[in-house]
């Protein structure tokens, strides 16, 4: 396979295989593609072996006078593979004059057997050698018949052709078939196996496009161990693929089963996402899922912001690449001048930006016109982000401001200011809490966002209920109700259970593996909404919280609440963490269940995009992938 000079990474990839069924096995221990010895339907046709019968044919145990046997007589003997499961051609014993004389004189003769050359049911060549080189023939004078202790002549394969079928594993449809000539060569010093040609090799040999679109080639890859692969060079994933060695049993291959089937596994596609931002907001987005070994069709170019009115932010524009088959490598980011030149240069004398985005990282640096998705990009995910800023954007902007606090992020909506200025923003007042400051300073950025670096500390207030009790007592004294008189002249105040009231609490929450039930709040009681739910793995803002009957709830819409046990809270924050000097750092799902097939390597850096509070105790985690989290105790923030 030609090694690509790939900008982002280089992968060597092919396909996979699995043990050959029956007496045939593939060489590797754990493989995904099956190589199966295939049995054809038996066909009845004229004899196509090297055995030529004489005009007169007789069989064993057939009545015949001894003197009637002559050089015009052939004795037909059935033959079979050594395991006696696959019938071969009839063998014609054509006795010489010397052998006939010996048989007539002694009523027995030893005949030397020749090799059997024949055709398989699909037309391939097969060559067999007899298991016993001599055949003992006797004449029974009492019954006037020819007999032998060996009623069937047994053969084992010493050479021949195998027809290999390349079949899609998921649909069972045949992609291609090819005759592997002379692969059944067998002797004491040669292993009983042959190497199956890959479709890439056959493409060059046959001068055809045979590599399967969307499928791995016929090679052996152990996918179970890929997440543990350590690269030989940098961070270039290596699939460690090997060609398939198909073992066979020369004693068990006949005319009806000299075929093999290789099942081709479906490959994950190469996913490309392009997000174009203008002044901090999505301007255009484009997506494509491309199958490996396919050629990228002509694409409709996405609209880009007017270069006369906007400026490309080189500090934010970047490409992020990750590989599903190699989660241990995380996400690699490319930016800087060389990256921009790669994307925006017109070396091909075109302005096809989207096409250059698609082939970014897959084409040869010396062949910029190449637009076929190679198999080494199976499961690759490319996110291209372009950030533009308007040259004449309004000086005044309106945006939300997020204030970090000890009880979660507080969102102040619709704050207005002029770009470049520092403004004052009021701190949200949360019921039941007291803030350590009333306002914070925020900066109005050129990209249309308003941000603050200040943090707010909220302190829980211990409410004094004495005033409420006194008021209740006075109200009761104004009535002449003696039912509560204890006999001492005083009246007991009634016990009033206040209805819980929501508290203001701004933040973000994420759902987990299942859809989340919604509830409506009426008179201090929650009622489940049977018609609506939040979808799994989705993100939502909330602005209030309340605790009823020991359960905490968060409001995500007007009178729509979710139970805290069904979600997790998080803060939006971007940064980098580094794993500690341990072999593998454990990853967990959002429900804190451990991810068993992946982990983070020692002393490696990882980008995170949120701080999540997971589990009933809301332990702090960093999100390093869409659904993968690492505990703050297991990493160091850079």
Strand partners, 520: 527
Q: Select the more confidently predicted residue: 484 or 240.
A: 240
pLDDT confidence of residue 257: 94
- Residue 485: pLDDT over 60: no
Q: What percent of the chain has pLDDT over 90?
A: 44
Looking at every residue in the chain, the average pLDDT score rounds to: 81
Question: Which pLDDT band, with edges at 50, 70 and 90, does 16 fall under?
Answer: very low
Handedness of CA 603, 607, 608, 614 (dihedral sign): negative
Query: Residue 157 is encoded by which pair of tokens?
Result: 């394969």
Chain segment 125-172, per-residue pLDDT in tens: 999 999 999 999 999 999 999 999 999 999 999 999 999 999 999 999
pLDDT of residue 537: 87
Is residue 29 scored above 80 in pLDDT? no
Report the pLDDT value the prediction gives residue 277, as an integer from 0 to 100.
87
pLDDT confidence bin for 332, thresholds 50/70/90: confident
State which of 74-88, 415-429, 546-560 shows the largest mean pLDDT: 74-88
Residue owning tokens 């002379």: 182
* Half-sphere exposure for 555 (CA within 13 Å, toward CB): 17
Dihedral Cα 496, 499, 505, 508, nearest 10 deg? 140
Q: Which pLDDT does position 468 carry in this prediction?
A: 44
- Lowest-confidence segment of 39-48, 195-204, 279-288, 430-439 by average pLDDT: 39-48
The domain limits of the chain are 35-40+161-264, 56-159, 270-390, 396-460, 503-637
Residue 298 confidence (pLDDT) above 90: no
Which pLDDT does position 64 carry in this prediction? 94
Query: Is residue 245 predicted with pLDDT exceeding 50?
Result: yes
Q: What is the pLDDT of residues 590-601, one digit of tens each?
A: 999 998 878 898
Within 13 A of 89's CA, how many CA atoms are on the CB side? 24
Average pLDDT over residues 82-105: 94
| Per-residue confidence (pLDDT) for residue 355, from 0 to 100 | 64
Residue 28 has pLDDT above 60, yes or no: no
pLDDT at 509 over 50: yes
- Please tell me which residue, 213 or 339, carries the higher pLDDT value: 213
Q: Which long-range contacts (CB under 8 A, 24 or more apart) does 322-325 make?
A: 322/380, 322/381, 322/625, 323/9, 323/11, 323/237, 323/379, 323/380, 323/381, 324/268, 324/379, 324/380, 324/381, 325/223, 325/226, 325/227, 325/237, 325/239, 325/268, 325/378, 325/379
How does pLDDT run across 96-121, given as a tens digit for each residue? 999 999 999 999 999 999 999 999 99
The whole model's pTM is what?
0.56
């Amino acid at each position: 396979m030609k090694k690509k000079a790939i900008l982002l990474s280089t992968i060597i990839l092919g396909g996979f295989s699995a043990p050959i069924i029956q007496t045939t096995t593939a060489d590797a221990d754990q493989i995904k593609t099956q190589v199966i010895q295939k049995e054809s339907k038996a066909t009845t046709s004229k004899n196509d072996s090297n055995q030529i019968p004489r005009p007169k044919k007789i069989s064993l145990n057939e009545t015949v006078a001894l003197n009637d046997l002559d050089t015009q007589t052939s004795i037909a003997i059935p033959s079979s593979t050594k395991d006696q499961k696959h019938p071969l051609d009839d063998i014609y014993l054509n006795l010489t004059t010397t052998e006939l004389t010996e048989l007539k004189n002694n009523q027995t003769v030893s005949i030397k057997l020749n090799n059997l050359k024949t055709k398989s049911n699909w037309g391939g060549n097969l060559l067999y050698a007899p298991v016993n080189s001599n055949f003992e023939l006797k004449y029974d004078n009492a019954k006037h018949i020819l007999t032998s202790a060996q009623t069937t002549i047994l053969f084992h394969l010493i050479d021949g052709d195998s027809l290999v079928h390349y079949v899609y594993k998921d649909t069972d449809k045949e992609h291609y078939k090819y005759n592997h000539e002379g692969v059944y060569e067998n002797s004491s010093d040669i292993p009983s196996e042959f190497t199956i040609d890959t479709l890439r090799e056959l493409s060059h040999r046959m001068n055809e496009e045979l590599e399967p679109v969307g499928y791995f080639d016929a090679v052996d890859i152990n996918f179970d161990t890929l997440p543990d692969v350590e690269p030989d060079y940098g961070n270039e994933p290596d699939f460690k693929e090997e060609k398939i060695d198909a073992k066979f049993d020369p004693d068990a291959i006949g005319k009806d089963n000299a075929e093999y089937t290789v099942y081709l596994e479906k490959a994950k596609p190469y996913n490309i996402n392009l997000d174009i931002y203008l002044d901090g907001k999505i301007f255009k987005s484009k997506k494509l899922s491309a199958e490996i070994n396919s050629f990228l069709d002509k694409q409709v170019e996405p609209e880009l912001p007017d270069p006369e009115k906007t400026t490309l932010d080189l500090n934010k524009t970047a490409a992020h690449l990750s590989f599903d088959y190699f989660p241990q490598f995380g996400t690699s980011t490319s930016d800087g001048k060389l990256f921009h030149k790669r994307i925006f240069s017109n070396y091909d004398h075109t302005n096809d930006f989207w096409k250059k985005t698609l082939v970014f990282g897959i084409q040869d640096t010396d062949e910029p016109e190449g637009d076929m998705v190679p198999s080494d990009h199976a499961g690759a995910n490319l996110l291209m982000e372009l950030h533009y800023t308007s040259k004449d954007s309004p000086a005044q902007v309106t945006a939300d401001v997020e204030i970090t606090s000890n009880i979660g992020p507080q969102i102040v909506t619709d704050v207005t200011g002029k770009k470049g200025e520092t403004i004052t923003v009021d701190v949200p007042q949360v019921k039941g809490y007291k803030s350590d400051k009333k306002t914070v300073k925020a900066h109005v950025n050129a990209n249309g966002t308003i941000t603050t670096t200040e943090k707010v500390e909220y302190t829980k207030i211990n409410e004094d209920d004495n005033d409420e009790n006194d008021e209740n007592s006075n109200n009761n004294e104004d009535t002449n109700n003696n039912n509560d008189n204890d006999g001492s002249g005083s009246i007991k105040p009634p016990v009033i259970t206040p209805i819980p009231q929501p508290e203001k609490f701004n933040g973000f929450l994420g759902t987990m593996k299942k859809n989340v039930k919604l509830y409506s709040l009426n008179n201090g009681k929650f009622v489940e909404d049977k018609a609506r739910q939040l979808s799994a793995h989705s993100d939502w803002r909330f602005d209030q919280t309340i605790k009823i009957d020991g359960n905490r709830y968060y409001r995500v819409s007007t009178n729509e609440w979710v139970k805290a046990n069904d979600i997790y809270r998080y803060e939006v924050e971007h940064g980098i963490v580094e794993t500690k000097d341990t072999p593998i750092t454990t990853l967990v799902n959002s429900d804190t269940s451990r991810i068993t097939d992946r982990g983070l390597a020692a002393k490696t850096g990882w980008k995170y995009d949120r701080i999540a509070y997971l589990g009933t105790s809301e332990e702090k985690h960093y999100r390093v992938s869409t659904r993968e989290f690492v505990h703050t105790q297991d990493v160091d923030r850079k």
